[in-house]
Amino acid sequence: MPEGDTVYRAAKNLHSALAGQVLTRCDVRVPRYATVDLTGERIESSGSRGKHLLLRTEQALIHSHLKMEGAWHLYRHGTRWRRPAFEARIVLETAQWQAVGFALGTLEVLRRDEEESVVGHLGPDLLGPDWDAGQAVRNIERQPERAIGLALLDQRNLAGVGNVYRNELCFLRGVLPTRPVSEVPDLPRMVALAKRTLDANRNRMERTTTGDTRAGKQDWVYGRTGKPCRRCGTRIVGGTLGDPVQPGRGAQDRETYWCPRCQT
């Protein structure tokens, strides 16, 4: 599942391959931008802000969000794609590379000066140069009655935590995801742990919060409903957590997992 570390790694790979290269082909397969052709423009940079990926040419900003299923792939010319062509939302080619964005939840082609309109609302980026732990804590504390599991997912508070990390962070700090922010002990330590965890995984192909990258061993509670807690053996419980502050926001109604004994 794409989270801040996944997007950071994708942006870094795109930058390494494409920065400084001239586009020889641009095929945007989204109706709104189907007539856009950036062929001949030089790619200046690729970067991430939280879970948003920003690819900048001389004149344009290609803004994408992977959502649940999206991915950016790099291929040498003539290489077979690893995902079906009907999932491709954009194809960018240079003399050396082909970059394909598959199943992107959001894809926009904007002017360069519109960048803040799509990411200006985000809180400090856990993997970015603007990271400010104190500001992230203050942002979360603005809604003391809100469940910590929802506050961590709110990208306006801090950018980069997705559903996997939200569940794992709550477990590691021994806190139920439903506990109000005002009752979370030492919130700065939880924010610091979020930073350390994403930092540790930003260059890994296999994300882990347990320290074990073997299949089925990477997570403490995420996706482990009914399985024994790796610490105490109690069965992991699963459910969903809605947001009473902002009802109806689908992105907030996500699966939640916890250990009834290790988390209170």
Catalytic residue among 49, 51, 166, 202, which?
A: 51
Could you confirm whether 83 is annotated as catalytic?
no
Catalytic residue among 2, 108, 146, 207, which?
A: 2
The CA distances from residue 160 to 77, 80, 263, in Å, are 32, 31, 23
Could you confirm whether 67 is annotated as catalytic?
no
Catalytic residue among 3, 93, 108, 168, which?
A: 3
Could you confirm whether 217 is annotated as catalytic?
no
For 233-255, give one letter per residue: b (16+ CB within 10 A) or e: eeebbbeebebeeeeeeeebebe
The amino acid sitting at 25 is R
Could you confirm whether 254 is annotated as catalytic?
yes
Query: Strand ranges (DSSP E) for the chain?
Result: 25-28, 43-49, 52-57, 60-65, 71-76, 88-93, 97-102, 106-111, 237-241, 254-258
Active site residue ranges = 2-3, 51, 254
